């Protein structure tokens, strides 16, 4: 097969949602179609329960699950589908944001009862940063949810994107009858409680099908005809190009739990979603079809076996062919590496892969060479862009409690922050360490892992900061003066870029207007 054919076969995407909207359930149903699992219940949620925060063994167990399920690959309809899993818990949102840099499109699950929730909006903002194409799946139609037209308005308003329904529900809750496929003009009737792939479905062809009334009742048939006319009139034709450019989001309705509306979603997804795309680097744009291999690391996970210090780096292949046992260039370190046991996440195949193609994710065993954001190439010197660090929102100062173990603590905190669990900022040439995260749960995890994996005990003391902003200026003198004047609130990030800690949103706005020559950035992606 040619490289182009391999690329054409692949689709790499993430399913995202506010916790509890049905991401895990939908993932499981998609895997059922791919035949990777035989029955429902095989995919474990990687949700971390609030109540389990103090139970560190639980965190460890959850971590184990999230390694196993963080990439799931399967074949369906002649395509290789790579689903990248993202943690739903908001304290791990940064991990989700980074994973979104490694996909070509997204399926966003929305609960029809709750509508657009807080985390949905934030995730959507991240998709919009790089115009990632989005398909919306409105889930839980078997519940008494909102009116579909109201939901459409809410999606457009809160997610700031145009929508285009491609299916339309017939009633909801107890009276949910099915979804009408607006493209194929047919209706599948809903039969609750089916969780296998081979469900029996009654099909009605077109709105003029004489059995429509008998199947859904004359009232629902009437409403459906009116709705369809309204939808076709109000939303116009589906613009595929606008979807690919992230300007319009097709919408599907269904019930993941009942495996309803999922097949329509999957099949339409395969026909409209983007192929593995090229990406920007600091030198030039690299296209997937280029023959030379390149890729980047978007996630690092500690090996669960505490006797081994090796970690697993998740590499997204962006161009060319990745080959096992062949030297590749580690651009940041300027050295050549080769991997003898790269593995794939194909449930039905043996794990070690000899080759991987654009769109694929391979797991690489790493002994400490790789960091999130690292680029591997066939030799050319360039770095992939757009693996941002986001402004943390919770800050604590790290204090070493065991002076005999300060080396272990240094090493541990460095490695854990390289995994992306938190961000490390230093002041006073490293004498003062400030750890920033998007949620407080990470501090428990860090403390636990420092002790168990590195033998280092530490304490975290809360700091009264609300935001960390990367600061730049076209005027080096102005930047220097600002840094000197605000010394106690300035630190350096892992790449020695200066960062300002703001105490509140209000203070940040005040500083912005008071220091017009200084630019304050809430992500590190400002180059």
Residues lying near ligand G4P in the complex (CB under 6 A): 17, 19-25, 45, 47, 88, 139-140, 142-143, 255-258
**Could you tell me which residues come within 8 angstroms of residue 286 by beta carbon, excluding any fewer than 6 positions away?**
278, 279, 280, 294, 318, 319, 382, 384
Q: How far is the CB of 265 from ligand G4P (least distance, A)?
A: 12
Q: How far is the CB of 72 from ligand G4P (least distance, A)?
A: 13
Q: According to the annotation, is 87 in a ligand binding site?
A: yes
Q: According to the annotation, is 21 in a ligand binding site?
A: yes
Instruction: Indicate the residue among 65 and 426 with the shorter CB distance to ligand G4P.
Output: 65
Q: According to the annotation, is 18 in a ligand binding site?
A: yes
Q: How far is the CB of 176 from ligand G4P (least distance, A)?
A: 10
Cα distances (Å, whole numbers) of residue 380 to 131, 293, 314, 337 = 27, 10, 21, 14
Instruction: Indicate the residue among 145 and 436 with the shorter CB distance to ligand G4P.
Output: 145
Instruction: Indicate the residue among 43 and 315 with the shorter CB distance to ligand G4P.
Output: 43
Q: By the 8 A CB rule, do 264 and 254 touch?
A: yes
**Could you tell me which residues come within 8 angstroms of residue 141 by beta carbon, excluding any fewer than 6 positions away?**
112, 169, 172, 176, 179, 190, 253, 254, 255, 260, 261
Instruction: Indicate the residue among 17 and 415 with the shorter CB distance to ligand G4P.
Output: 17
Q: How far is the CB of 267 from ligand G4P (least distance, A)?
A: 19
Helices (H), 11-164: 23-34, 56-68, 93-99, 118-129, 148-159
Distance CA 139, CA 145 (A): 9
Instruction: Indicate the residue among 85 and 374 with the shorter CB distance to ligand G4P.
Output: 85
Residue 444 burial (CB < 10 Å; 0-12/13-18/19+)?
A: middle
Instruction: Indicate the residue among 89 and 433 with the shorter CB distance to ligand G4P.
Output: 89
Q: According to the annotation, is 224 in a ligand binding site?
A: no
Q: According to the annotation, is 91 in a ligand binding site?
A: no
Q: How far is the CB of 271 from ligand G4P (least distance, A)?
A: 24
Q: According to the annotation, is 85 in a ligand binding site?
A: yes
Q: According to the annotation, is 23 in a ligand binding site?
A: yes
| Terminal Cα distance for the chain, rounded | 38
Instruction: Indicate the residue among 96 and 281 with the shorter CB distance to ligand G4P.
Output: 96
Q: By the 8 A CB rule, do 313 and 363 touch?
A: yes
Q: How far is the CB of 43 from ligand G4P (least distance, A)?
A: 9
**Could you tell me which residues come within 8 angstroms of residue 229 by beta carbon, excluding any fewer than 6 positions away?**
none
| SS3 of residue 167 by DSSP | strand
Q: According to the annotation, is 227 in a ligand binding site?
A: no
Q: How far is the CB of 184 from ligand G4P (least distance, A)?
A: 22
Backbone angles phi, psi at 90, to 5 degrees: -65, -25
**Closest Cα partner for 400 from 447, 459, 355, 348?**
459
Q: According to the annotation, is 375 in a ligand binding site?
A: no
Binding site feature residues for GTP: 17-24, 85-89, 139-142
């Amino acid at each position: 097969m040619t490289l182009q054919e391999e690329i054409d076969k692949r689709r790499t995407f993430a399913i995202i949602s506010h916790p509890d909207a049905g991401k895990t359930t939908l993932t499981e149903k998609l895997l059922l179609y791919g035949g990777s699992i035989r029955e429902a219940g095989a995919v474990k949620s990687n949700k971390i329960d609030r109540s389990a925060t103090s139970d560190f063994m639980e965190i460890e167990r959850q971590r184990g699950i999230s390694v196993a399920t963080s990439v799931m690959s399967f074949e369906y309809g002649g395509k290789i589908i790579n689903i990248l899993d993202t943690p739903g818990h908001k304290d791990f949102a940064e991990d989700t944001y980074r994973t979104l840099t490694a996909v070509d499109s997204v399926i966003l699950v929305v609960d029809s009862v709750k509508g657009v929730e807080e985390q949905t909006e934030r995730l959507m903002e991240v998709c919009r940063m790089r115009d990632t194409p989005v398909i919306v799946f409105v889930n839980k139609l078997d519940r008494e949810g909102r009116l579909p037209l109201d939901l459409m308005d809410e999606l457009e308003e809160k997610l700031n994107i145009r929508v285009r329904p491609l299916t339309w529900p017939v009633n909801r809750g107890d009276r949910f009858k099915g979804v009408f496929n607006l493209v194929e003009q047919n209706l599948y009737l809903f039969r609750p409680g089916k969780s296998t792939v081979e469900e029996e479905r009654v099909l009605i062809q077109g709105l003029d099908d004489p059995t429509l009334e008998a199947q859904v009742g004359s009232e629902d048939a009437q409403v459906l005809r009116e709705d369809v006319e309204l939808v076709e009139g109000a939303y116009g034709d589906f613009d595929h190009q606008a979807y690919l450019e992230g300007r319009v989001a097709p919408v599907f309705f269904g019930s993941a739990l009942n495996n309803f509306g999922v097949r329509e979603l999957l099949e339409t997804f395969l026909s409209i979603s983007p192929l593995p795309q090229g990406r920007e680097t600091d030198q030039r744009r690299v296209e997937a079809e280029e023959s030379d291999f390149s890729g980047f690391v978007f996630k690092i996970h500690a090996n669960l076996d505490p006797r081994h210090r090796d970690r697993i780096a998740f590499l997204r292949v962006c161009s060319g062919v990745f080959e096992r046992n062949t030297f590749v260039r580690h651009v940041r370190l300027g050295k050549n590496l080769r991997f003898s046991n790269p593995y794939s996440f194909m449930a039905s195949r043996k794990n070690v892969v000899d080759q991987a193609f654009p769109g694929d994710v391979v797991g690489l065993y790493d002994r400490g060479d790789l960091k999130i954001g690292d680029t591997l190439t066939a030799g050319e010197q360039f770095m992939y862009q757009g693996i941002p660090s986001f402004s943390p929102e919770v800050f604590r100062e790290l204090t070493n409690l065991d002076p005999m173990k300060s080396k272990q603590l240094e090493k541990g905190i460095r490695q854990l922050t390289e995994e992306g669990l938190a961000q490390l900022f230093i002041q006073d040439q490293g004498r003062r360490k400030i750890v920033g995260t998007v949620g407080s749960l990470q501090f428990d995890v860090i403390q636990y892992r420092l002790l168990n994996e590195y033998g280092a005990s530490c304490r975290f003391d809360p700091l009264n900061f609300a935001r960390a902003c990367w600061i730049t200026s076209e005027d080096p003198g102005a930047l220097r003066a600002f840094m000197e004047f605000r010394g106690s609130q300035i630190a350096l990030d892992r790449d020695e870029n200066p960062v300002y800690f703001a105490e509140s949103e209000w203070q940040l706005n005040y500083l912005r207007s008071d220091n017009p020559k200084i630019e304050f950035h809430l992500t590190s992606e400002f180059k």
